[in-house]
Amino acid sequence: MKTTETHAGACEPEYFMRDGKLTRRMFIKGVGAITVASALGFGVENAGASEALADEAPAAAGEKAVHAVCTVNCTSRCHLRGTVRDGKLVRVEPGDMPGRPGYANACLRSMSYIQRLQDENARVMYPMRRTGERGSGEFERITWDEAIDEIAEKLNTVLAKDPQAASFYSFTGDLGKLSWEAPTRYAATVGATTWDIEGIMGDHGASMGMTMVFGTHRGAHDSRDYLNSKLLIVWGRNVADTHTSELRDYVAARKNGAKVIVIDPRQCSTAAMADEWIPIKPQTDPALALGMMNWIIGNDLHAKDKLVEESVAPYLIREDDGAYLRMVDGAVVATATGASKADEGSIGTAPAAQGEAGADAGTFVIWDELTGAAVPAPDAAAIKGGSVKPALSGSFTVDGVACRTAFDHLVDACAPYTLERTGEICGIDPDVVERLSREYIEAQPAGIRMGQGMQRVYHSYAPFRTVATLAMVAGYIGVPGGGASHAGGTATNKPVAGYTGPVYGFADWSDTGKKANLVPSSKVYSAAVSHDPVPIDFLWIANSNFINMSPDSNRIINEVIPAIGFIVTVDPWWTWTAKYSDIVLPACTYWEHWDLIDRSPWAMFNQPAIEPMGESKSDVEIMSLLAKKTGVEQYWDKTDEEWIRQFVGTDHPAWDDFDWDRDVVEQGIYGRSDALYDSAIVYADGAGYKTDTGKFEFYTESLVAFDEEVPTWQPPCEDPREGELAAKYPLVYIQYHDRLNVHTQHILNPALEVVQDEPLLQMNPVDAEARGIAHGDVVRVLNDRGDMKIRVFVTEGIIPGTVATQSGWTPDYFIEGCYQNLTHHTICDAEEAYSMTNSAFYDVLVEVEKA
């Protein structure tokens, strides 16, 4: 799609129409300038946990102080304090965090967001019906009654034929409890299909990798713990731009003497403030971790006791089929590899161990050096107590079955990754690989913070799985200042003796009568086109700019969308996806409706700070209207506020100090009575693993069929090293997250024009000169799937052989095309076998030419 401008002035896509007429976007008058009190995420000091937030300045005359929690998908969940004047939000600042002094935070995105959300020309103001072809942008205004009646008529026809042919797709645009879950909850009430979204969005590789080794898809040291670190490796994570609430702790750790190293293909903002930036070729992070493990083990520096006590390193593996050896009542029992899980998990999860973690741990086997016999695998305490001594390495025969330890399998996997081979694969000098390995193992302790960027590749579980295994080999799992962490810390609360009830009253919300049909999102294209595994005759899209944030947009537009009978999009914004919908409904933003975020140890609340723009409604209101027309109104018998009151209305001791007027209405946040605000160390003393073995599990027997039972590095799907594709398209193309936006949200808030006002292609001077390209030139980026025209930014801050743009920019701002024209949706058999394919957004080859 071609536009005539590539800067902020292009923020009016001409295909957007209201009342059948083209309309220009004009910044709504009366919205004040944002207050950039916390541009780098540093905020004011906080008050006590259960007291009123006295540190916040009182509102001026004629102004009203309001509160909200930012519910976009950066995972920070910042508490915000807003100021309303004459019915409009005019200022946003960091809101205090009870019990956590110095943690108040607000980024540029959240502070400038109020400009766009109050721009009536950017918002969907009324229910709209498509009048032209899909994609034409021709819509007419209709009433809510007309919209709901038409949608219900289409939906009831589909439900009568096959409820699972109706799909409800809720993404991450608003992660409040009500907004995020209302569409999929409705789907459950009518027995329709919902989608496990992590795969298509490219975040599932991290979940799979973490689940393989830890048994849970999230787990992290609080960033304050890095004050205990001597070395901090920030691996594929740009916190300075994307997770500003953490940045202060990285700065404090560095001031405290920790060396900060950033491993990234780009010299991102975090790399700019670090002690060292190690450029790495995209798609090669597991190879570097394997090379570091090989050097550490080869120099006999690995944490032998830790590996024996807390991991599956001494567990015996059968030589005949690669499965764990298991014994029952002292006898070896037959095993089958790759047994399917009984439950694929809930939205956003990878399959985890079923039942209690380690429930079958007694069936696994180690070789006891004290008795010279195979015995059931003991827990860490027994090993530390000296009653048993598992062999870390060796080959044994048990009841006629040849076995060797899982550690030996790991050593074999690491062995090919010499310093030279590792350096060649990763584009890093072998001397740097050696120095990094030495500094990491000698730091005692060293922490690793992993970012989502390195897992948007084929075999996407490998980066997190392998880097976490490196941390275990070094002995840094579960120790202060160590860890291999993902996401933002681990919530802790005081145990309440004798109380077994739930903290939140979610029982009625969970009561849906029927159950939704949850399908991996890796199958959404095949479902629409081939009806495999389910048809999509009706599609409800909420909290999502589906076309812009999913791979291979040309395929979506040309194959997926035409195959779907009726599409409804519910969104605050006129998005690319809305343009291809049949009905578009106006949704509230988080400043306009009630909602809840459980960010333990805090409960954080949204409430209407301003009147909804136009005829916007909350997702609960919208689903309640539809429920009345589809026979399930009994499940939608509360208002948004009534749902929230019920959620926090339990007798759990967490609410002992709770006061609705103070903590919800006045402050928008509640620090739980049972809260612990100290920094938590996950997996301390070898406890907390949710794997089947109850240990750190680097050996995954379900991947034996793919020769990936231990961490490995697999060449990328689109390999730049060899083959016809590499000759035709020799550059690796990645899309990074930046300070300007979270996905397509915040593009382009007027105040952010000073940062950047158009998408740019980062390119190394070596690659630019070879193509006759100069800084600022307009270039064409292409492959067999599509192309885009964009201005180039020539910089040494990106590794040669790689080009990059920021993720999230919409076609409105490109000279031609869009970055998603270049990406692909390729099914990975190993990922499907374990859970589902993760979109390999950074596993893409392109060529760049001067336009």
The boundaries of the domain holding residue 741 are 724-850
Does residue 763 share a domain with residue 694? Answer: no
Q: Is 368 helix (H, G, I), strand (E, B) or coil?
A: strand
pLDDT of residue 252: 95
Same domain, yes or no: 702 and 733: no
CB 697 within 8 A of CB 212: yes
pLDDT class of 231 with cuts at 50, 70, 90: very high
Task: Verify that 700 and 754 share a domain, yes or no.
Answer: no
Contact 91, 67 (CB under 8 A): no
Q: Report the distance separating Cα 367 and Cα 369, nearest Å.
A: 6
Q: Tell me the percentage of the chain whose pLDDT exceeds 70.
A: 89
- Check residue 739 and give its pLDDT: 82
Q: What is the pLDDT of residue 109?
A: 87
Is there a single domain that holds both residue 250 and residue 318?
yes
How many CB atoms are located within 10 Å of the residue 344 CB?
A: 16
| pLDDT of 81 strictly over 70 | yes
**What pLDDT shows up at residue 489?**
61
What is the Cα–Cα distance from 337 to 284, expressed in whole angstroms? 28
Cα–Cα distance for residue pair 445/435, rounded to 1 Å = 16
Lowest mean pLDDT among 263-267, 324-328, 337-341, 585-589: 337-341
What integer best gives the mean pLDDT of the chain? Answer: 89
- 538-542 and 166-170 beta bridge pairing: parallel
Which of 87-101, 322-336, 704-718, 826-840 has the least mean pLDDT?
Answer: 322-336
**Per the omega criterion (within 30 degrees of 0), is the bond before 601 cis?**
yes
Residue 60, pLDDT score: 77
Domain boundary among 706, 738, 761: 706
CB 215 within 8 A of CB 695: no
Instruction: Label residue 516 by pLDDT band (50, 70, 90).
Output: very high
Q: Are residues 387 and 431 in the same domain?
A: yes
What pLDDT, on a 0 to 100 scale, did the predictor assign at position 331? 87
Residue 352: pLDDT over 60? no
**Which of 644, 675, 706 lies at the terminal end of a domain, its last residue?**
706
Beta carbons of 322 and 337 less than 8 angstroms apart: yes
Do 310 and 402 reside in the same domain of the chain?
Answer: yes
Residues 698 and 817 in one domain: no
The answer to the question of residue 698 being in a domain is yes
Q: Is residue 30 part of a domain?
A: no
Nearest to 238 by CA among 75, 453, 461: 453
Residue 495 has what DSSP assignment? -
My answer on whether 337 and 477 are in the same domain is yes
Q: What is the rounded distance in angstroms from the CA atom of residue 736 to the CA atom of residue 748?
A: 17
Within-domain flag for 712: no
DSSP state letters, 369-433: TTTTEEEEPPPHHHHHHTS--B-SS-EEEETTEEEEEHHHHHHHHHTT--HHHHHHHHT--HHHH
Instruction: Check pLDDT > 90 for residue 342.
Output: no
**Rounded distance between C-alpha atoms, residue 236 and residue 233, angstroms:** 9
pLDDT one-digit tens code per residue, 2-19: 333 333 333 333 323 333
Would residue 178 count as lying in a domain?
no
pLDDT given at position 24: 29
Q: Is residue 582 part of a domain?
A: no
Q: Is pLDDT at 26 greater than 70 in this prediction?
A: no
The confidence score (pLDDT) of residue 57 equals 63
| Nearest residue to 483 (alpha-carbon basis) of 74, 210, 75 | 210
793 and 831 part of one domain: yes
Q: Are strands 63-69 and 21-22 parallel, antiparallel or unpaired?
A: unpaired
In the predicted model, what is the mean pLDDT of residues 113-137?
A: 94
Residue 754 lies in a domain: yes
- Do 692 and 837 share a domain, yes or no? no
State yes or no: pLDDT of 649 exceeds 80. yes
pLDDT band (50, 70, 90) for residue 334: confident
Q: How far apart are CA 427 and CA 283, in angstroms?
A: 11
| Residue 286 pLDDT > 60 | yes
Q: Which of 706, 736, 757 is the last residue of a domain?
A: 706
Q: How confident is the model at residue 490 (pLDDT cuts 50, 70, 90)?
A: low
Percent of the chain with pLDDT over 90: 76
Looking at the structure, tell me whether residues 698 and 836 fall in a common domain. Answer: no
pTM higher than the cut 0.85: yes
**How many domains does the chain fold into?**
2
Task: Give the lowest-confidence range in 50-59, 189-198, 487-496, 667-676.
Answer: 50-59
Q: For position 777, which CATH number holds?
A: 2.40.40.20
Q: How far apart, in Å, are the Cα atoms of 148 and each of 156, 580, 583, 639?
A: 12, 19, 10, 18
Better-predicted residue by pLDDT, 282 or 491:
282
Query: Do 693 and 819 belong together in one domain?
Result: no
- What's at 368, amino acid-wise? D
| Mean pLDDT score, 581-604 | 96
Has residue 416 got a pLDDT over 70?
yes
> Left, alpha or beta for 743 (phi > 0: left; psi -120 to 50: alpha)?
left
Largest CA distance in the chain: 85
| Half-sphere exposure of residue 824: CA atoms within 13 angstroms, side-chain side | 18
The reply to whether 192 falls in a domain is no
Question: Residue 83: pLDDT above 70?
Answer: yes
The CATH number linked to 232 is 3.40.228.10
- Residues 458, 459, 462: CA angle, nearest 5 degrees: 130
Q: Would residue 690 count as lying in a domain?
A: yes
Q: Which of 206, 695, 234, 684 is nearest to 447 (CA)?
A: 234
Q: Of 350, 194, 201, nearest to 823 (Cα)?
A: 201
Which amino acid appears at position 661 of this protein?
Answer: D
pLDDT reading at 771 higher than 70? yes
Q: b/e map of 783-792 (b: 16 or more CB within 10 Å)?
A: bebbbbbbbb
